[in-house]
Chain A
Amino acid sequence: MTIVKPIQIEVANQVFEAWNQLGVAGRVAQLEKAIFGLTHEQANMAKWQLDNARHEIGEAVVLPGPTGESNVLSTHGRGVFLTTVQSGIAGDLVSVGLVGQIFAALVAGNPVITVGPEGQQIMDTLAKFVPEGVVQNVAESAQDSIIEATDLAGVAIICDVDNAQQLSKRLAEKSGLLCQLVEETSIGSLSTIGAPHYILRFVTEQTVSTNTTAIGGNATLLELGSKAE
């Protein structure tokens, strides 16, 4: 069976590595410029997501461990995210939520595919400030083909519980990696999108462990050995 991969997924995959390698600070610097094109409420949400990302995942964490070894934990994007809103749900807060999803997914290091006219509007605002392909938009009619793509890392959606259940089932039926569903079902409060740990749903983590004594020495330890208190 030939699997047809939507062109948007291919394009997004091509830019993913470079976007991810910019790091949180690099992405924040680009995304911040786009905030001015948003409404006041949307801009507050976008800014909050960027600030939150800086706080939660902005710095690689140096982990404690034995001497002579360096262990660093960093976060990276998961891959291509579809960011969308359930059909028929609308309103100012929903638009704010959608912006929150998109900025969270992007700042975490993922390329994003948005949907429909509202997605197009946000994409247009962002496109001038981020590399081509990092944000793309598809028509609502094309959303299903994106959802079905095996390479899709996740779907961030604002929807009701029933819709979340159906989408969860649909994503689980796909083969390949476990596609993440990041659903916001508290449409009136955005309590998921507005929570500090929301950003973590869009990242993977990498630990890099280096044997710093591979070539022999460990001057730090030697210094500790002779350090006077």
Chain B
Amino acid sequence: MFNALEVLQPTILERPLNELWQRISPLYSADEELWLTELLKLAEPTDAQLKASTDAATTLIEQVRKDDESMSMIDSLLLEYSLDTKEGILLMCLAEALMRVPDKETADAFIKDRLSVADWASHVKNSDSFFVNASTWGLLLTGKIVTMDETKDGQPANLINRMVNRVSEPVIRKAMNQAMKIMGHQFVLGRSISEALSRGKSYRDKGYTYSFDMLGEAALTAADADKYLKSYEQAIESVGKDTYNKGHRPTISIKLSALHPRYEVGCEERVMTELFESVKGLIQKARALNVGITIDAEEADRLELSLHLFEKLFRDESTKGWGLFGLVVQAYSKRCLPVLNWLAALAKDVGDRIPLRLVKGAYWDSEIKLCQQRGLSGYPVYTRKESTDVSYLACANFLLSAHTRQWIFPQFASHNAHTIATIATIAENLGATTNEYEFQRLHGMGDALYNRLIKDKDVCVRIYAPVGSHKDLLPYLVRRLLENGANSSFVHRLVDARCPISELVDHPVTTLMSRKTLRNPFINLPKDMFVDRKNSYGPNIEIESEWTPFKASVDAFMGADTTWTAYPIVGGENLETDKVREVNSPYDHSLNVGKVYWSNTEIVNKAIDTADAAFPAWSKTPATDRAACLERMAELMEENYAELVAICHREAGKTIQDSIDEVREAVDFCNYYAQQVRQNFAAPKVFTNFQGKTQQSQLTGRGVFACISPWNFPLAIFTGQVVAALAAGNAVVCKAAEQTSLIAFRAVQMLHEAGIPKDVLHFLPGNGATVGAPMTQHKRIAGLAFTGSTGTAQLINRTLASRGVAPVPVIAETGGQNAMLVDSTSLPEQVVRDAVRSAFASAGQRCSALRVLFVQADIADRVIPMIAGAMKEQTVGLPYLHSTDVGPVIDEKAQKMLLDHIEVMKKEGRLIAQAELPEWAEKGTFVAPTAFEISSIDQLKDEKFGPIMHVVRYKAKDLDKIIDTINNSGFGLTMGVHSRNETTCAHIANRARVGNLYVNRDQVGAVVGVQPFGGQGLSGTGPKAGGPHYLPRFAKEQLV
């Protein structure tokens, strides 16, 4: 592991750059205990240093609290509306969305939704701040209304609720919008740089300077990126004209994700060319006008990419010799110290100093969440706040060292009095003068702290100030505030006089060392997310240290010399037949993947007879033993990850992330059903029967189960069905889709290896005629699990029912006509991102994929062009490339059906956009992601299983009619909802007859045991796969 103390040796910067670079990525999700142990050595103060920093922090806080104007306006707001109260959160929710709602009806409903659930009146006049009271609704509503209400009963407790119900809606709406404008005014320094410079003058007179940020959402389209680029150019020009002649010159902060619609690792080539050129243009302009530029830090997955880009820009002629091109680094990142180390060496190598803002980090919650969702190896950030503070001080020790500050100009961004005081102490100890570093703070926060610091020390303090229209920026800023404004945050506690100073000046090293464990025991690692089973693992392909070895392992199976052969497996024996099907890749039909020997009726009958004979013994095998086989299967799949991913690419045309998700889902099925069978099958359940007598019920296998699975999840659904049937105690005969039998064959081999007896599980590759028909006609089939089309499910059901034997369970998961409903409170950027992913990921070949997007008419003209722009950024290509978003469709039949539909829609609908196909697309079966606007879902006769999205505009008042129309389609699989109005979301959830409803997110990627999956009506029989009721349907419930 990286030796943290080594960075204090001046010789560290003599090391080859590449060697220092290699130290960064391995720390991405390093063991927190080990790495913090290392880092603590660098942050630990001596007794004298500890005393000095504690004394300095205490003095600073005492002085700040004495100051009558200690609270800035945003501080006051946070104190009154603490973000751990319902009102605080609701206020922010309102602020995040209200200003963008264009139609009165939705705005009124949204206000009512937010205001009716909290006790607003209790906040009236609580705060001394005019801003807070102005934001408190009672005072915004005219005195007349308040007086009127109070004189009626003199009880203000439910004042607002009653006003919402009684006062005319336009009055409330106007007042709310006014409140939002006031908030916007406080959060945003100016709508333009000139306004910001003008408003900022009083602070500059006090000695502050600025870094202006044209914040906003990430660009999803080229047009957005162009708009943000122009905005940055204008900002640079305006700052360039600044004539204020005292102190430090303001700079501009830029967010790379705003300058390119695909600022991500998979698009590195575009980032290093297109985005490079955009930023270079800004640098040239800025340099000419003497305006420094700082690149903002974003999500952990983009860190390494951002450093590659920074290096290229920093080494460019346009930057050389300038010294005002800098960047932001986040201390909550485990990679922070080696990143700083590498940057210092880079600066030395180039010969220019780098201004570097050290922040603690603003995406902490989403980083944690993302790692859990993706089953990653660990977290890229620390799990305790004090660990981030330790990292911050450790990094400060490095940055303020003489050998480093020669090459890095550190800019310490913090609102924590202890951090600020400690930094100043460290600087003094290391002999850094106050012109060798600066502090930074956010506009509207920490005024008192820094006013005091500026008075006491001659140090530069730069205010990071958002600039832009309130409507655009308020939502963004509120989201950041919600991520940083919890009760425990220092800003809040500093201004809360009830909080003892002694609690605010604890050194983070002392606090961390006092913990039983360095890692936070309340935040389990992604693999331990579930208490009763192991979570599946996924490598992070955005991170060099994980992606490089993973890619190499997959590449070992990607060569033309690696092929697979699948056979019918009966009784553990591979059977050769005279019918062989060659398997070619969907993305290039000239590439052979292997061959499949198809089964025939004789083999099918033999398999079923063998299974039938083996059933009694397997059924009697203890449930815990069956569960152990499933868990072993999960391990085997993870051991063979690379091969399975390679087959997903080559046989099914699945992209990299889709292939990883495929393996993960299969693993999750095994672990989840193992846990379920242990819980529910291992021992009889005792209950009191309807006659009042104590009785026992025992779930047991039914006999021979048939499993018929589709090609779109060739490993996950195949494995899920088979292991569910096996876990419940059944013998199994299984047929995979004829397009994807190779991976299913490997799965069956692994199941046998995992301990499933060879006479219990039999594999029967073939098509419906050769395998499906004889299988479903066989009288010994005691149940069937099927995933596929509604029509095939009906056919199978008929065949099974006509055998002249007792009815058997048919568990069918069939099609859908999935919709997403979007109202005008939603955030268009989130909608577009989620809609595009829901419709086009996996080339739209998911049962859950979005087919019909319903957009409220009032925002359709904004959302639809964004969808068109985002679709243009989708890359259709080879599935095994990181740059590919959309791979091929499965075969020519599917391709023809989809292309025919596109032709029909071109006549009956309006083409919104169609992504480009690569020149060589005819080598395989590709369909370009395409979107049409249509007038009604009724225009669609059946599901089109591919990358085609239909968009329908609807009026807010017609929401219920839309739900009726969707319900009347008879399908009911998935639905997405995007709305900030919880009442609306709940109403839709109540009324929509769908199996899986997703709110404010995409509608694909259900996780086993977390989002049990399956539909209603024409979309399936239930129970849901990956849910608690699934296994009992594979079993007999015997009363004993």
- Which residues in A have some Cβ–Cβ distance to B below 8 Å? 17, 21, 44-45, 48-49, 61, 63-69, 71, 73, 76, 78-79, 96, 100, 161, 164-165, 168-169, 171-173, 175-178, 180-181, 183, 185, 189-192, 194-198, 200, 203-211, 213-219, 221-229
Inter-chain contact B797/A178, CB cutoff 8 Å:
yes
Q: Does B383 contact A219, Cβ atoms closer than 8 Å?
A: no
Pair A210/B1000 contact, Cβ less than 8 Å: yes
Beyond A66-B372, A204-B1016, is A71–B1022 a contact (Cβ under 8 Å)? no
Taking a contact as CB atoms under 8 Å apart, the answer to whether A227 and B522 are in contact is yes
The answer to whether A61 touches B1028, judged by C-beta atoms less than 8 angstroms apart, is yes
B369 touches A176 (CB 8 A): no
Contact partner of A73 (CB less than 8 A), chosen from B84, B516, B830, B1012, is B1012
Contact A217 B488 (CB under 8 A): no
Task: Say how far B531's CB is from chain A's closest CB, in angstroms.
Answer: 7
Given A168-B801, A200-B1033, A222-B483, 18 more pairs with CB closer than 8 A: A49-B690, A65-B1011, A67-B368, A67-B523, A71-B1011, A165-B801, A169-B798, A178-B812, A181-B807, A206-B989, A209-B996, A213-B366, A214-B827, A218-B369, A218-B483, A222-B486, A223-B486, A229-B516
Can you name 14 A-B pairs with beta carbons within 8 Å?
A64-B1010, A66-B369, A165-B801, A165-B804, A169-B801, A177-B970, A178-B794, A200-B1023, A204-B1022, A207-B1013, A209-B998, A213-B369, A216-B92, A219-B487
Q: Given that A209-B999, A226-B384 are known contacts, is A215 also in contact with B1011, CB under 8 Å in the complex?
A: no
CA distance A110 to B743 in the complex (A): 41
Whether the pair B999, A211 counts as a contact (CB closer than 8 A) is yes
B797 to chain A: which residues have CB within 8 Å? 172, 178
Contact indicator B995/A221 (Cβ below 8 Å): no
Cα-based distance from A147 to B986 in the complex (angstroms): 34
A134–B96 Cα distance when bound, in Å, is 44
B697 touches A69 (CB 8 A): no
Question: Which residues between 484 and 517 of chain B lie within 8 Å of chain A, taking CB atoms?
Answer: 485-489, 515-517
For chain B, give the interface size range.
35 or more
The residue on A at minimum CB distance from B999 is A210
A-binding residues in B (CB < 8 A)? 83-84, 89, 92-93, 96-97, 364-366, 368-369, 372-373, 383-386, 478-483, 485-489, 515-517, 520-523, 529-531, 685, 687, 689-692, 697, 793-794, 797-798, 800-802, 804-807, 810, 812, 827, 830, 970, 980, 985, 989-991, 993-1001, 1006-1007, 1009-1014, 1016-1018, 1021-1024, 1027-1029, 1032-1033, 1037-1039
Nearest CB of chain B from residue A88's CB, rounded to whole Å: 19
B92:A215 contact, CB within 8 angstroms:
yes
Q: Lowest 8 CB-CB distances: which A-B pairs, in order?
A: A217-B482, A216-B479, A214-B1000, A66-B372, A172-B801, A48-B690, A216-B482, A211-B1001
Task: Report chain A residues within 8 Å CB of B993.
Answer: 76
- A172, B810: Cα distance in complex, Å: 11
A64-B529 contact given A211-B1001, A229-B522, CB 8 Å threshold? yes
- A153's closest neighbor in chain B, by CB? B1017
Give chain A's interface secondary structure class: mixed
CB of B360, distance to nearest CB on chain A (Å):
12
A100: which B residues are within 8 A, CB to CB? 690
What distance in Å separates the Cβ of A65 from its nearest Cβ neighbour in chain B? 4
Chain A residues, Cβ within 8 Å of B1017: 79, 177
> Quick check: B529 and A45 within 8 Å, CB to CB?
no
CA distance A224 to B364 in the complex (A): 12
From B84, which residue of chain A is reached at the shortest CB distance? A219
Among candidates A165, A172, A195, residue contacting B798 with C-beta atoms closer than 8 Å = A172
Expressed in whole angstroms, the Cα–Cα distance for A87 and B985 within the complex equals 47
Q: Which residues of B contact A21 (CB under 8 A)?
A: 990
Closest chain-A Cβ to B481's Cβ sits at a distance in Å of: 7
Whole-angstrom CA separation of A195 from B800 in the bound complex = 25
- Would B995 and A205 count as touching, CB distance under 8 A? yes
Q: Given A172-B798, A221-B368, A225-B523: A177 and B1018 within 8 A (CB)?
A: yes
Q: In the complex the two chains form, is A217's CB within 8 Å of B995's CB? A: no
Pick the contact of A64 from B515, B531, B806, B1001 — CB < 8 Å? B531
The answer on a CB contact under 8 Å between A205 and B479 is: no
Report A175 CB to chain B, min CB distance, Å: 7
Are A176 and B995 in touch, CB under 8 angstroms? no
Give A227 to B480 CA distance when docked, in angstroms.
21
Beta-carbon contact of B802 and A172 below 8 Å: yes
Cβ of B376 to closest chain A Cβ, rounded Å:
11
